[in-house]
Amino acid sequence: MTKARRLELLAMDLGAVERLVAAFQHSRGLVEDGDPGPKTLAELQPAAPGAAASIPKTRSGVRAVYGAFDWTPGRGRSVEIEGNWTARNIRRFELHTGQRRRLHRLAGAEFVQLFERACAASGYTPKSVQTFNPRRIKARKDSKLSMHAYGIAADFDPIDNPWGGRRRDGSPSLLRQNMAFVEVFEAAGWTWGGRWSGGKGDDMHFERRSPR
């Protein structure tokens, strides 16, 4: 086979790959440029049990790893996610407590494992576990999306783990009383909201994003 023929076949193969990538991008609502960039690669990651994506730090990183979507404001902090992003990415996962919670397909299996390990390590098993919730951080037009909207965050026992780390009776939050729970998630790269605001932040909150 001549060199010219090999180059011709190579060009044909590359063209076929680009068409396949473009077709995949079309099925996922992505820009159809045939280039497997970060968003396309994130979509290609399997949703098999135990599958986990890299943990991003910035908001642009979150969109690249978990997928970007358009949204419109709803009542209060709620938002309406447009397109089929939710159907493609949000799954129900069963916790060891029997509870079923909705999480991103690239974070759910890991969350299930960490939650069970954290409960065992600390002796503390939260009764309330709040996960996927399409909403903004605050009920303001200029507010950013909460990580709950991506299905990569969880709030545990909000009443007993309030902002500031102190319960109504003045005692430390249950998570501060059971720091082994926090340590399991932090060791896996998750962020605990209790570290925010100089260590007096959002105690109930954990998210699959690297510390700020």
Output the domain CATH number for residue 117. 3.30.1380
Quick check: is 142 in a domain?
yes
Q: Please give the C-alpha separations between residue 27 and each of 21, 22, 71, 101, 190, in angstroms, as whole numbers.
A: 10, 9, 19, 26, 31
Q: Which domain holds residue 162?
A: 67-207
Domain-embedded: residue 163 = yes
6 assigned to some structural domain: no
36 lies in some domain:
no
Q: Does 92 reside within a domain?
A: yes
10 vs 20: CA distance, rounded Å: 15
Total tally of structural domains belonging to the chain: 1
pTM to 2 decimal places: 0.76
Q: Are 83 and 29 in contact (CB under 8 A)?
A: yes
Residue 7 pLDDT: 57
Q: Report if residue 4 sits inside a domain.
A: no
Judge whether 137 lies within some domain: yes
The length of the chain is 212
159 in a domain, yes or no?
yes
Which stretches in the chain have pLDDT values below 70?
Answer: 1, 3-17, 20-21, 23-30, 38-52, 212
Structure confidence at residue 8 (pLDDT) = 65
